[in-house]
C-alpha cells in the first residue's frame, strides 16, 4: 500500500510518500522556525497561513521527487491532532479534499503515534513489544507499546514537557527559539559538574515526571551570576545549560530504567524532538547496556515533526482496515 502523509500540527509543513513494500519514496519538509523565532515562540495564526502557502507546492514536489504521477497513491494520511487547531485544519482539510478528488480512503493520524512509530522507518527497527519515551515540545510520556494502537501510559510529566522546559530554560539564558538544540550546543562547552540541579520526582515511586522546577532553578542560578548590567558571562551560561541538560537527561534515564524493569521489556525507543538530543542518547545507551536492553531512535530529521512518520503510521492503520469518515476532524487535545 502506498500512502501520502501530511503533517501540519505545529510549525513544520511535512509531506511524504511511504510504500509498505518499497519504503519511503519521497519526503519534503518546510520549517517555519525562522519566522516564529522573531516572536520567541510559535504564533498560531502565522503558522496556519504559512501551512496554506507551502502545502500545495510541497505536494507537487514530493510526487516529483518520488518519480510518481500526482495522485498515484492508494490512500492518504494527515495529522488530526493534537496540535494547533488552525494549523491542523490546513493539513486535515487538504488531505480530506484530495482523498475525495482522487477517490481514495484517508486516515486521520495521532501526531504522537507518528512520533512513536518513526524509529520503524530506520534500517534496524524495533519489534513489538517495547517501551517508548515520547519527548517533544508538548508531551513527555512513557508508554508501553504492545502493537499498533495498543498503548498503555506508564507515566508522564505532570507539568511542562521536557522540550518545553528546554525552550523556556533557553529563553532565560537569552537563547533563541526553539531553545532545545541551542541549550544542547552550549552545554557541550559547559562544565557539567559546576552546578548540580535536582532530579525531580526520582525519590518517589512510579514513572511520572516534573520539569517546571528545573526552569525556576535555571532562572535563579542565572540571576545569582548576573553582572551589574544583568549579563551572564559565556562560560557560566554554558555551565548552566550543561547542568540543566544533565538534570533533564538523568531524570529521563532513571524513569526509562524503571519502565524497562516494570514491563520486563528489552527494547526502549525514544521519539519526538528531544530524542534528537545527543546527551540523552549517550546517557540512555549507558543505561540500556546495564539493563541488557536495546535503544532505538530515528534519524535526527525524523525526531522532530515530519510527514514521513504520518505516512508510515497512517499506512499501518489503513493496512489494518481502518479509515476515517468524510468529515474533517481535528482534535487539538487528544490523548494517545
Ligand atoms: O516533536 P517536535 O518537533 O514538536 C512537537 O511535537 O512538540 O519537538 C520540538 C521540541 C522543542 O521543544 C525543541 O526545543 C526540542 O524538541 N528539541 C530538542 C533538541 N532538538 C529539538 N531538545 C533538546 N535537544 C535537542 N537536540
Ligand atoms: Zn511533534
pLDDT tens per residue, range 306-324: 999 999 999 999 999 999 9
Q: How far is the CA of 190 from the centre of ligand 2 (A)?
A: 28
Torsion of CA 286, 157, 331, 130, to 10 degrees: 30
Which of 42, 166, 275 maximizes ligand 1 atoms within 8 Å of its Cβ, making it the mutation to test the pocket? Answer: 166
Is 137 annotated to bind ligand? yes
Span from the CA of 180 to the centroid of ligand 1 (angstroms): 6
C-alpha cell at 70: 500526482
- pLDDT number for residue 239: 98
**Ligand 1 close to Cβ of residue 181 (< 6 A):** yes
The gap from C-alpha 314 to its chain's centroid, in whole angstroms, comes to: 17
Predicted pLDDT at 288 = 98
Which residue puts its alpha carbon closest to atom 16 of ligand 1? 273
Cell, residue 189: 562547552
For residue 87, what is its C-alpha cell? 494549523
Phi, psi for residue 14 in degrees, rounded to 5 = -125, 135
Q: What is the pTM assigned to this prediction?
A: 0.96
Report the mean per-residue pLDDT for the chain.
97
* Confidence at residue 308, expressed as pLDDT on a 0 to 100 scale: 98
Coil vs helix vs strand at 199: coil
Alpha helices in the chain (DSSP H): 33-37, 44-66, 85-102, 111-117, 162-172, 179-188, 212-224, 234-263, 278-290, 300-303, 307-319
Longest distance between any two alpha carbons in the chain, whole Å: 67
pLDDT given for residue 118 in this prediction: 98
Look at residue 322 in the predicted model and tell me its pLDDT: 98
What's the CA gap between 323 and 306, in Å, rounded? Answer: 21
So what's the pLDDT on residue 263? 98
Residue 232 CB burial class (10 angstroms; 0-12, 13-18, ≥19): buried
The reply to whether 307 sits in an annotated binding site is no
Q: What is the DSSP string of 296-321?
A: EE--HHHHSS-HHHHHHHHHHHHHTT
Dump pLDDT digits (tens) for 73-114.
999 999 999 999 999 999 999 999 999 999 999 999 999 999
pLDDT of residue 64: 98
Tell me the three cell numbers of residue 258.
524503571
Per-residue pLDDT reduced to its tens digit, 171-205? 999 999 889 999 999 999 999 999 999 999 999 99
pLDDT for the residue numbered 254: 98
Q: Describe the crossing of helices 179-188 and 278-290 by its angle, rounded to 10 degrees.
A: 70
Given a cut of 70, the residues of the chain with pLDDT beneath it are none
In degrees, to the nearest 5, what angle opens at C-alpha 32 toward C-alphas 8 and 48? 45
Neighbours of ion ligand 2 (CB under 5 A): 136, 305
Report the pLDDT value the prediction gives residue 223, as an integer from 0 to 100.
Answer: 96
What confidence score (pLDDT) does residue 82 get?
Answer: 97
Buried b (16+ CB within 10 A) or exposed e, 288-311: beebebebbbbeeebbbbbbbbbb
Residue 270, pLDDT score: 98
pLDDT at 121: 98
Per-position DSSP letters for 116-169, written without gaps between them? HHGGGGSSS---SSEEEEEESSS-EEEEEEEETTEEEEEEEBSSS-HHHHHHHH
What is the pLDDT, as a whole number, of residue 159? 98
Which of 304, 310, 336 has most ligand 1 atoms within 8 Å of CB, for mutation?
A: 304
Looking at ligand 1, which atom is closest to the CA of residue 138? Answer: 7
The set of residues, in sequence order, having a beta carbon less than 8 Å from that of 162 and lying 6+ positions away, is 135, 140, 209, 211, 248, 252, 274
Amino acid at each position: 500500500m502506498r500512502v501520502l502523509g501530511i503533517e501540519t500540527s505545529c510549525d513544520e509543513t511535512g509531506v511524504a510518500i511511504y510504500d509498505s513494500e518499497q519504503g519511503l519514496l519521497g519526503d519534503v519538509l518546510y520549517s517555519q522556525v525562522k519566522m516564529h523565532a522573531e516572536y520567541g515562540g510559535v504564533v498560531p495564526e502565522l503558522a496556519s497561513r504559512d501551512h496554506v502557502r507551502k502545502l500545495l507546492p510541497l505536494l507537487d514536489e514530493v510526487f516529483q521527487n518520488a518519480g510518481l504521477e500526482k495522485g498515484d497513491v492508494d490512500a492518504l494520511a494527515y495529522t488530526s491532532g493534537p496540535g494547533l487547531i488552525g494549523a491542523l485544519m490546513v493539513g486535515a482539510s487538504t488531505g480530506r479534499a484530495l482523498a475525495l478528488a482522487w477517490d481514495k480512503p484517508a486516515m486521520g493520524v495521532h501526531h504522537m503515534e507518528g512520533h512513536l512509530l518513526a524509529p520503524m522507518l530506520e534500517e534496524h527497527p524495533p519489534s513489538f513489544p517495547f517501551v517508548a519515551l515520547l519527548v517533544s515540545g508538548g508531551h513527555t510520556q512513557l508508554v508501553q507499546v504492545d502493537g499498533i494502537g495498543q498503548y498503555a501510559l506508564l507515566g508522564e510529566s505532570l507539568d511542562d514537557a521536557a522540550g518545553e522546559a528546554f525552550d523556556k530554560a533557553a529563553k532565560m539564558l537569552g537563547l533563541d527559539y526553539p531553545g532545545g538544540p541551542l541549550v544542547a550546543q552550549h552545554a557541550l562547552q559547559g562544565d557539567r559538574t559546576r552546578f548540580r540541579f535536582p532530579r525531580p520526582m526520582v525519590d518517589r515511586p512510579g514513572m511520572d515526571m516534573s520539569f517546571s522546577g528545573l526552569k525556576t532553578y535555571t532562572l535563579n542560578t542565572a540571576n545569582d551570576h548576573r553582572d551589574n548590567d544583568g549579563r551572564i558571562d559565556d562560560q557560566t551560561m554554558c555551565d548552566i545549560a550543561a547542568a540543566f541538560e544533565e538534570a533533564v537527561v538523568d531524570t529521563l534515564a532513571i524513569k526509562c530504567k524503571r519502565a524497562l524493569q516494570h514491563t520486563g521489556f528489552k527494547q526502549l525507543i525514544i521519539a519526538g524532538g528531544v530524542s534528537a538530543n545527543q546527551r540523552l542518547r549517550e546517557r540512555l545507551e549507558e543505561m540500556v547496556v546495564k539493563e541488557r536492553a536495546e535503544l532505538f531512535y530515528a534519524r535526527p530529521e525524523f525526531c522532530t515533526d515530519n510527514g514521513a512518520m504520518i505516512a508510515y503510521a497512517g499506512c499501518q492503520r489503513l493496512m489494518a482496515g481502518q479509515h476515517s469518515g468524510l468529515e474533517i476532524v481535528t482534535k487539538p487535545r487528544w490523548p494517545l
